[in-house]
Amino acid sequence: MATKQKVRSTSARRTGRRTTLRVPETLESELSRTARQLGATENEALVYLAQLGADAAKRRRAVEKVTARRRQALIGSGAAATGELPSPEEAREAILAERR
């Protein structure tokens, strides 16, 4: 996995917790490809990919939070009490009211 490469990145040394981990075989080719693309070591590429994943997870949590608020707005719109789905206009109004 973390083999030394002739091309060395000019990135600054990172601060933070040091760790040792095993890279799953399913990620090996992507890790090598990313390291070559960045002109970096595989360790630097691994940190890069981890940051991309963390950013994606953060965006996903934000979307889930908005989805939950909108779902709650629809449930609270009164249509749920009748056991029916709200009309498109009721749904629109409930979502817009949640934004205010």
20 in a structural domain: no
Q: Which residues contact 42 (CB under 8 A, 6 or more apart)?
A: 1, 2, 3, 5, 31, 32, 35
**Residue 92 tokens, joined:** 């629109």
> Which of the four pLDDT bands, split at 50, 70 and 90, describes residue 82?
low
Whether this prediction's pTM lies above 0.85 is answered by no
Residue pLDDT, tens place only, 2-48: 555 555 555 567 788 888 889 999 999 999 999 999 999 999 999 99
Residue 10 lies in a domain: no
Listed residue (33, 31, 27) closest to 46, CA to CA: 31
Domain count, the chain: 1
Q: Which domain holds residue 41?
A: 25-99
